[in-house]
Structure 1
Amino acid sequence: MERHPARVVAFSDAVIAIAVTLLVLEIRPPQDTRHLFHGLVTLWPSYLAYVVTFMLVGQVWANHHVMFDQIRTADRTVLFLNTVLLMDIAFLPFAASVLAGAFRDGHGQRTAVILHGIAFELAALLFNAIWQYVRRHHRLLVATIDPAGVKAISRRFRLALTWIAVGTLLGALLPPLGMAVIAAFIPFYWLPIRGEIARAQPRRDEGGPA
């Protein structure tokens, strides 16, 4: 059974919106209002975890649209993999909270960075799994994407898998360095994907010219 991806995207957008909203709720206001400025400053780990996680989730959202813009129909495998992806995204506010707490308290930073990195690495893995699946089953793709566009998206998704893995491994040794590498991924990954918007070239099996 196959379904139009519009409902999949709408449900995914809702889950992602809830996840990024929950991120800010993890920032607890200072209890001591007599030293409010100092209390707000000491919350810098929460601000850092919020900004990095929010921007990374924003990339997940943007690239989710990039991917599903090229998917004509979704079968049960796509639905299942996307559901697991959303389950991982819903976990991210917890991972961000653990990260902020570890840097604020000065303990468990390696574990926190690894947890945060693994959560995003799993998201990258699922992106690659969904895309490689639809790439192998051409009937699921729109007719307007050409091979160059397919390869361009594939390269970008594989890069995410490698980049986040490197940041996570470095975080196991030097937590600040690992977070810096993962954070550096943010401005780079917002760049447009070359070949993402390809010229319409109907495939032979879609009734295009031979």
Structure 2
Amino acid sequence: MTEPVQESGESSSFGQERDPARVVAFSDAVIAIAITLLVLEIHPPSDTSHLLHGLAELWPSYLAYAVTFMLIGQVWANHHIMFDHIRSADRLVLFLNTVLLMDIAFLPFAASVLAEAFRDGHGQRTAVVLHGIAFELAAVLFNVIWWHARHDRRLLATTIDAAGVTAISRRFQLAVVWLGVGILLGALLPVLGVAVISAFILYYWLPIAGEIARARRRRDGGGRA
């Protein structure tokens, strides 16, 4: 038995509920700009007479670019996962998502600081912590938005069941812990902090099994009909 879908435009304690399509479109635009700006922080060597050596010395910029690009890519993917199941957005969702986008727009700067610190050999701990905190804030905001949306299932669509909600919640909660550990380790040993956060990238591209269980059951059931 499916839950009744409330009409878009219904009012709540947090204002009128709206179709989240524009939220997703605006978010995609901000994320696309932020992820594109990353490459602008990689400046070509000024001394072209030793170009190969100069390019090799830019390895901190390549590292910061790759790690941050893939992490922002995960932010984009998880943002879609979340809003695939949010049927309407009230003003609190709009506000929290705006704060999330403000944090995402900051990430190219954090990546630039990280690259500069490793290139100069100074301030590496501070740079890793700054970079990690920027993503930690994004992880916290994901959890808050999802918690608010799933509260009483008022903002959620019927495309996801309780098991799927729990699976996404656990994935988002794990991100807070994982990045937090990376920040703490980075404050002690910068290279280890970067390694832990990089390992986070590999794990988080795996599918959320609980999220797709209902869709699989529905597909299998339709095949037998």
Given the two structures, how large is their TM-score scaled by the length of structure 2?
0.88
Instruction: Give the aligned partner of residue 96 of structure 1.
Output: 111
Q: How does 1:145-184 map to 2 (within 5 A)?
A: 145-184=160-199
Separation (CA, whole Å) in 2 of partners of 1:100 and 1:64: 26
Query: Quick check: 1:42 aligned with 2:57?
Result: yes
Aligned partner of 1:82 among 97, 105, 109: 97
1:144: how far off? 2.1
1:199: how far off? 2.3
1:75-94: per-residue Cα shift (whole Å, max 9, x none)? 00000000000000000000
Residue pair 1:144, 1:198 contacting (<8 A) in 2 also: no
Separation (CA, whole Å) in 2 of partners of 1:199 and 1:97: 42
2:79 alignment partner AA: H
The total of aligned residue pairs comes to 201
Separation (CA, whole Å) in 2 of partners of 1:58 and 1:196: 19
Residue pair 1:19, 1:93 contacting (<8 A) in 2 also: yes
1:101-160: per-residue Cα shift (whole Å, max 9, x none)? 000000000000000000000000000000001111412000121100000000000010
* SS in structure 2 at match of 1:136: helix
Query: Quick check: 1:71 aligned with 2:74?
Result: no
167-176 or 131-140, larger mean C-alpha shift: 131-140
Given the two structures, how large is their TM-score scaled by the length of structure 1?
0.94
Residue pair 2:45, 2:54 contacting (<8 A) in 1 also: yes
Q: How does 1:1-210 map to 2 (within 5 A)?
A: 1-199=16-214
* SS in structure 2 at match of 1:191: coil
The share of aligned pairs that are identical, in percent, is 79
Separation (CA, whole Å) in 1 of partners of 2:119 and 2:129: 16
Instruction: Give the aligned partner of residue 207 of structure 1.
Output: none
Deviating 4+ runs (over 6 angstroms): none
Q: Mark the runs of 5 or more structure 2 residues left unpaired by the alignment.
A: 1-15, 218-225
Residue pair 2:164, 2:214 contacting (<8 A) in 1 also: no
Residue pair 2:139, 2:172 contacting (<8 A) in 1 also: yes
1:161: how far off? 0.5
1:96 alignment partner AA: A
* SS in structure 2 at match of 1:140: coil
- Aligned-residue RMSD, C-alpha: 1.0
2:145 alignment partner AA: I
Residue pair 1:19, 1:90 contacting (<8 A) in 2 also: yes
Separation (CA, whole Å) in 2 of partners of 1:148 and 1:162: 21
Separation (CA, whole Å) in 1 of partners of 2:63 and 2:105: 19
Residue pair 1:124, 1:161 contacting (<8 A) in 2 also: yes
Q: Mark the runs of 5 or more structure 1 residues left unpaired by the alignment.
A: 202-210
1:41: how far off? 0.1
1:76 alignment partner AA: R
1:40 alignment partner AA: L
